[in-house]
Chains A and B, each alone.
Chain A
């Protein structure tokens, strides 16, 4: 079993829909939770990160962390075709020599 599980999709939604992307994890020591967006043939780009539990909002994006359930989510409101990409969740511990542990990514397609 991988440390971080993510449904690979693809997830296809119409423009304007609310998108929900999720990851589950097994290691309760993770403290930082990140969402990266990766367009085809490009490098991952950090969208947002959350420390410990709670919600964080940035424009159309909202990240949620539920440490008791070991479950994190990314919501995209008013989805646009330009949101079509692979979304990778990532997690890390605090402290030095920390590293990112990634999920396998969910491919999202927003259609006109």
Chain B
């Protein structure tokens, strides 16, 4: 069974479109995260949710809006996509906010904006 899953795995879209990436974890964890990995492999936190509440919001454009319908799901919606949004987006989870040092990552969603 996949612990942290993401859909879709690949996403190719035109500039200006709106798209969503979904994430689900079946580990029973309370805390979930979104990361962006750029072409140089640099992994940077974007958002973190604990029990459906936003606890970390890094300097991310307002075009990015996370939504957590329940603690097992954290989705990422991106409006008005730009070329610079092309990256691999990873979802992760941890037992709770005190266990941020032990995060489990999903397989990633490779987003290409044309």
- Which A residues fall within an 8 A CB radius of B? 8, 32, 34, 36, 38, 41-46, 49, 51, 86, 88, 92, 95-102, 104-105
Are B100 and A92 touching (Cβ within 8 A)? yes
Please judge, given known A-B contacts A44-B43, A104-B40, A104-B42, whether A98 and B107 are in contact too, CB under 8 Å: no
Q: How many A-B residue pairs have CB under 8 A?
A: 65
B90 CB contact (under 8 Å) in A32, A43, A98, A104: A43
Are A100 and B102 touching (Cβ within 8 A)? no
Are B41 and A104 touching (Cβ within 8 A)? yes
CB distance from B87 to the nearest CB of A (A): 14
New contact pairs (4) apart from A43-B106, A86-B41, A96-B98, CB-CB < 8 Å: A8-B41, A38-B41, A92-B101, A99-B48
B104 proximal to A (CB < 8 A): yes
* Count of interface residues, chain B, beta-carbon cutoff 8 Å: 26
Please judge, given known A-B contacts A42-B107, A43-B108, A44-B90, whether A98 and B44 are in contact too, CB under 8 Å: no
Smallest CB gap from B47: residue in A: A99
Are B104 and A100 touching (Cβ within 8 A)? no
